[in-house]
Amino acid sequence: MNDRYFLFKVVMFSTNEEIKSPSHYRQSYFTLKVPYRRMKQEIQRITRLGGKILNITPYDLSSTLPWWIEIETREPNCLYYFGPFDELDEARSYESGYIEDLQQEGAQGIRVQLKQCHPSILTEER
């Protein structure tokens, strides 16, 4: 089946539970690759979780491969893909932020690679 895909650029908001001040809201930006047949469900899920969709663009599999940040963690044993990015330098500029977020969440044994690819799964627990 030849399914069309779309990229959702999303921002999620969270707060520091210890300090209930508007200045302590934290924003996480990410991109999701969503098949057309699941767009409605993803929009509802993102909204339910308190996120905001910044934009939706068609994802063209025939274009030049985009850059992705692949991060593996030993604990939890997961594989993450962050992106896509048009340029290698753009991916590098975001790399440390994703690593910092995972470290703050307690991830250990972090290994990073920058790749040109089309990952089919953006987060995989192993």
Q: Which pLDDT belongs to residue 2?
A: 56
pLDDT of residue 27: 75
Report the CATH fold assignment for 1-61.
Dna Ligase; domain 1 (3.30.1490)
Would you state the pLDDT for residue 126? 87
Taking the chain (126 residues) in runs of 10, the rounded mean pLDDT of each run is 79 62 66 89 91 87 80 95 91 94 95 90 89
Structure token pair of residue 112: 């990073």
Measure the CA–CA gap between 15 and 18, rounded to whole angstroms: 9
- Domains of the chain by residue range: 1-61, 64-126
Quote the pLDDT of residue 42. Answer: 93
Instruction: Tell me the C-alpha distance between 11 and 29, whole Å.
Output: 4
